[in-house]
Chains A and B, each alone.
Chain A
Amino acid sequence: MVNTVYLDYQAAKPVDPEVFEEMTPYFSEKFANASSLHTDGDIATEALEASRKQVAEFIHAEDPNEIIFTSGATESNNLALIGYAMRNKKKGNHIIISEIEHISILNIAKYLEKNGFEVSRVPVDFYGRIRLDKLKERIREDTILISVQYASNEIGTIQPITEIGGIAREKGIVFHCDAVAAEDLVPIDVVRDKIDLLTLSSNDLYGPRGVGVLYIRTGVLLNPLLIGGGQERGLRSGTEDVAGIVGMAKAAEIAKSKMEEESARLSELRDYLIQEVLEKVQRSHLNGHPKMRLPSNAHFRFDYIEGESLLLSLKDEGVSIATGSACTSKTLEASHTLISIGLLHEEAHGSLVISLGRWTTKADIEKLIEVLPGIVERLRNMSPLAE
């Protein structure tokens, strides 16, 4: 964060200095392979298993063996969906996801469709909440898996996860939840929420990148995607990245201890930001749910202007944010999440994603509020769509 106001925590978070410190010995004196049988190996094994226990406690898993370490959330999502679908295709070939899943889930679903599975997508309401009546409508005899994210990484809407878990469990369908966007600020309880498979990312807890977790409830069977030395109960071969895993566990411990206080602090900042922007910028709108949203997320759209121009102008003012504009994506398509909540393409193009984090201060928010109205006005004066 070099002299900028960083408000893009959803894209990447810095590693907490305490986490970094905890990891350091595992790059040098505690370097050994956790599979080795000598004393050095034992030290690595102990660190690995202690980390597993910490992460299990973080999500209220009953048994640490339900935690599988991976290379990140993308791998966890792949292992969950492809691993489960391939192993259980005799039970059925129908999978349900929501319309506003993270791009990794959407693309894995497309891959499964090409490989003989049928995928149904459940619509959401204007606030981005999954429509439970429509979810029930889509459940069939041959449905084997439901995958819904805990909260939207884009618009911050938190899903009724306990209800979805209840519906899935009642029908005997395995429920996967991608909790990456929510994990640092929303208390997750896999038992309460009846989650069978859960994806976590280390970086979203202020841990190192390149580490993730898939929680697999005891009794849920998957095929591995990586074949090799049989690490992680044979579900994820490859020598464990002990330093990274220790970092993730420490990050989870810190997140847990700070969660209540940090959620309250960020919610207050978020509400202040939302109130100020809606008041100071004419024809601005909040995307997502007014209350059921991540404490760290504010998502706006501004009539008549385009998101990338906003982003560039804010960049000039030293503010780092993201946009749902097509012009910033690789495909030049408007955000599927914004289309799914019922926005028109031109509205999706004018959106701004603001994500707060552990080092966001009131002064950062003030800075954004100070520069935003002028930028919007300047761009509107240039726009043929404005009055």
Chain B
Amino acid sequence: MKSTKYSAKVLEHFRNPRNVGTLKGDDVAIGRVGNPVCGDLMEMYVRIKDDVIKDIKFKTFGCGSAIATSSMITEMARGKTLDEAMEITRQDVADELQGLPPIKMHCSNLAADALHDAIKNWREGIKLEPVVDVPTKATCEVPEYKEIVGLDTFLNKGVYREFSDLEEFRDKRVLVVENGEPSIELAIQLTKVTGRVIFMTPLKMVLARPDLKTELKMSDVKVLLEAELVEVMGGETVEKVKVHDLNEDTEYELFVDAVLMP
């Protein structure tokens, strides 16, 4: 079966998703599941009164079934008590949509999980902030410093701590490792000589003065949050790095030509 062989109802919900958006207020619980690295990120906003879901909205980054299942569950959950809503399973959502392709059952049917996460957070008094609207005062834990494999091996062979002339990075894929505002300024400057600059920080957000943050946002720098460098790899010079995704606690490889550690 093709992964995109969807039922009429899935396609209908994909084309006309219900309840897209966010909710605000003290009576709103937020649930979040998935990870953009896997191609799915889902947020559920639930307004609760007297243990009943009064309103529900969602935001989703994902494929067709991710959007359709999010839309479907908002219709299923509205008006239900929290206990009833906790009973809704992935299978219920899939059934209500006249089925999902088998390969999609687990990868992009996260809507029930997102709803449950919201209710769980409500009950435990956990207040999530929307991904899009993280306040600047959020406390971000800085992970402990760990030794990065290969740093010494590739020092000045793709790993640089000092840079006099940015020209040597022309058209290179450059990874800038976060170290305060100068590192952000460096990343922005590098976009003048290359189209590929990745700025990596272990934090959940970029910490900088507002104007620099805006400048970074408007620039072509690709910001990589909640990521830390584990290993630098290559032959005679750097070819790729291993990255630890702190949110998912997984590791993946990223092809780069230079690693800058200001």
Chain A residues within 8 Å of B, Cβ to Cβ: 99, 123-126, 134, 137-138, 304-309, 311-312, 316, 325-330, 332, 334, 339-342, 344-347, 349, 381-387
Contacts and interface: CB of A to CB of B under 8 A. Distances in A.
Contacts of A342: 173, 196, 254-256
A134 B43 contact: no
Instruction: Determine chain B's interface SS by DSSP, over half rule.
Output: mixed
A312 B64 contact: yes
A126 B195 contact: yes
B39 A327 contact: yes
Interface string B44-66: 00000000000000011111101
Contact of B63 (A308, A381, A382): A308
Nearest to A120: B235
Given A137-B235, A308-B4, A346-B36, A385 B103 contact: no
Contacts of A387: 132, 217
Given A305-B61, A306-B61, A327-B108, A384 B132 contact: yes
A328 B20 contact: no
Contacts of A316: 15
A339 B37 CA distance: 12
Nearest to B227: A344
A308 B61 contact: no
A339 B43 contact: no
Contacts of B145: none
A126 B196 contact: yes
Contacts of A382: 17, 20, 59-61, 67
A75 to B, nearest CB: 25
B63 A385 contact: no
A384 B43 contact: yes
A12 to B, nearest CB: 15
B60 A123 contact: no
Contact of A134 (B20, B104, B239): B239
B92 interface: no
Query: Which of A138, A304, A384 has the most chain B CB within a 10 Å cutoff?
Result: A384
A126 B195 CA distance: 9
B79 to A, nearest CB: 23
A329 B67 CA distance: 18
Contacts of A307: 63
B115 to A, nearest CB: 15
Contact of A327 (B60, B63, B256): B63
Number of chain B interface residues as a range: 35 or more
Contacts of B198: 344
B63 A306 contact: yes
B224 interface: yes
A384 B171 contact: no
A213 to B, nearest CB: 30
Nearest to B130: A384
Contact of A332 (B62, B107, B224): B107
B131 A344 contact: no
A330 B5 CA distance: 13
Q: Rank and list the top 8 A-B pairs by shortest CB-CB distance, nearest first.
A: A327-B63, A308-B63, A384-B59, A342-B255, A346-B36, A349-B39, A383-B61, A342-B173
A307 B4 CA distance: 12
Contact of B255 (A329, A340, A345, A347): A340
Contact of A347 (B15, B20, B222, B257): B222
A339 B242 CA distance: 13
A105 B11 CA distance: 35
A342 B36 CA distance: 17
Contact of A308 (B41, B64, B253): B64
Contacts of A308: 3-4, 63-64
B235 A383 contact: no
B216 to A, nearest CB: 13
Contacts of B62: 306, 309, 327
Contacts of A349: 36, 39
Nearest to A334: B39
Interface string B218-243: 00001010000000000110011000
A157 to B, nearest CB: 14
Given A125-B173, A345-B38, A381-B20, A339 B59 contact: no
Given A137-B235, A328-B4, A345 B253 contact: no
Given A123-B240, A342-B173, A383-B61, A306 B235 contact: no
Interface in B107-128: 107-108
Nearest to A349: B39
B231 to A, nearest CB: 16
Nearest to B253: A339
24 contacts: A123-B240, A125-B257, A126-B172, A126-B195, A126-B196, A126-B257, A306-B61, A306-B63, A306-B66, A308-B4, A326-B38, A326-B39, A327-B64, A327-B107, A327-B108, A328-B3, A339-B255, A342-B256, A344-B224, A345-B252, A346-B37, A382-B20, A382-B67, A383-B61
